[in-house]
């Protein structure tokens, strides 16, 4: 099975660093070989990384974070980073000119996207030439920028991915084998570490307990399967929960809503044309 974390690759012909285009976007579902540590780069433009389906995220010098679908990370101009994506995953990258990016915070932040915001980002995947701020496209760009500004900001670290190679391998295995209900001791043993040292390492690398961190990683699989049309019962079984109600309770702890409501309020992926 292919590993779930790989750096993204731009579609042919897309220039994310064109400062003359106020706003443009790209659909990204291609990936290259993973490098550890990440091969960081930066842009003169600002970048909004939108998770549409599967494992999508962003790495910087200090963190590597996976995003649940329907959310996005803002990357200000000049911030060294590397985007990553998993097999069968989909993402959107919205690039905003340096001048307009100055209206957004100079620090990364995470937001949830409304269906209207997603539709507008998708619209800008068709833009490859400069346009004026006074044009129809320019006015649409202004509305989208204001929507990003006004969206409630969420904690950045939804699902932190560790820099420690052994723990990073654990994260990959959790995502790949979501129903694997190992104890903390078993996970520690899998990388030849004591349970105590393993638990300390998880807290140091992620800022969470192992249980909290594993739950966030499992939710990446849960949201993907829900948006692909799986029932709550099917997803609960796939993730190793004994009952659907136990899965629903865990889901609500993370997202503040039931899986059914999440599926209704998040954007629908079968209306998202990648082909």
Residues contacting residue 232 through CB under 8 Å, at least 6 positions apart: 226, 244, 247, 248, 259, 260
The per-residue pLDDT for range 39-77, each reduced to its tens digit, is 789 999 999 999 988 778 888 888 888 888 888 999 999
pLDDT surpasses 80 at 1: no
Residue 35 — pLDDT band, cuts 50, 70, 90?
low
Longest dimension (CA), the chain: 62
pLDDT of 37 above 70: no
Q: How confident is the model at residue 274 (pLDDT cuts 50, 70, 90)?
A: very low
Predicted confidence (pLDDT) per residue in 127-157, tens digit: 999 999 999 999 999 999 999 999 988 878 7
Tokens of 268: 């629908």
From residue 103, give the alpha-carbon distance in Å to each of 24, 93, 142, 193, 218.
Answer: 17, 18, 11, 47, 35
- Nearest CA to 272 out of 228, 221, 234, 239 is that of 228
Does residue 175 come out as left (phi exceeding 0), alpha (psi in the -120 to 50 range) or beta?
Answer: alpha
Structure tokens at 272: 């998202």
For residue 78, give the nearest of 49, 47, 36, 33 by alpha carbon: 47
**CA separation for the pair 31, 106 (Å, rounded):** 27
Q: Is the pLDDT of residue 169 over 90?
A: no
Q: What per-residue confidence (pLDDT) applies to 275? A: 41
What is the average pLDDT across 231-252? 93
- pLDDT at site 236: 94
CA pair distance 71, 56, nearest whole angstrom: 10
Domains of the chain: 6-150 (2.60.120.280), 162-269 (1.10.10.60)
Residue 156's pLDDT is: 82
Give percent of the chain with pLDDT exceeding 70. Answer: 91
Report long-range pairs for 139-146 (Cβ below 8 Å, ≥24 apart).
Answer: 141/22, 141/23, 141/100, 144/23, 144/94, 144/117, 144/120, 145/23, 145/96, 145/100, 145/103, 145/104
pLDDT top residue among 186 and 13: 186
- Per-residue model confidence as pLDDT tens digits over 72-128: 999 999 999 988 887 778 899 999 999 999 999 999 999 988 889 999 999 999 999
């Amino acid at each position: 099975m292919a590993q779930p974390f790989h750096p993204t690759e731009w579609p042919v012909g897309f220039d994310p660093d064109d400062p003359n285009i106020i706003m443009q976007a790209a659909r990204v579902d291609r990936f290259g070989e993973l490098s550890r540590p990440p091969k960081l780069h930066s842009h003169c433009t600002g970048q909004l990384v939108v998770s549409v389906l599967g494992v999508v995220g962003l790495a910087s010098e200090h963190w590597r974070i996976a995003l649940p679908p329907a959310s996005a990370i803002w990357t200000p101009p000049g911030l060294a980073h590397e985007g990553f994506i998993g097999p069968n995953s989909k993402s959107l990258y919205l690039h905003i000119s340096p001048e307009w990016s100055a209206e957004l915070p100079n620090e990364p932040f995470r937001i949830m996207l409304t269906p209207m915001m997603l539709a507008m980002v998708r619209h800008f995947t068709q833009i490859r030439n400069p346009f004026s701020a006074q044009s129809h496209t320019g006015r649409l760009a202004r509305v989208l920028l204001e929507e990003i500004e006004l969206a409630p900001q969420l904690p950045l670290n939804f699902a932190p991915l560790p820099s420690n190679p052994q723990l990073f391998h654990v994260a990959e295995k959790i995502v790949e084998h979501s129903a694997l209900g190992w104890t903390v001791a078993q996970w520690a043993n899998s990388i030849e570490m004591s349970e105590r040292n393993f638990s300390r390492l998880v807290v140091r690398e992620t800022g969470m307990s192992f249980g909290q961190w594993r739950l966030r990683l499992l939710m990446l699989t849960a949201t993907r399967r829900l948006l692909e049309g799986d029932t709550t019962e099917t997803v609960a079984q796939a993730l190793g929960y004994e009952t659907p109600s136990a899965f629903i309770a865990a889901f609500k702890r993370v997202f503040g809503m039931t899986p059914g409501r999440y599926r209704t309020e998040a954007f629908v992926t079968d209306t998202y044309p990648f082909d």
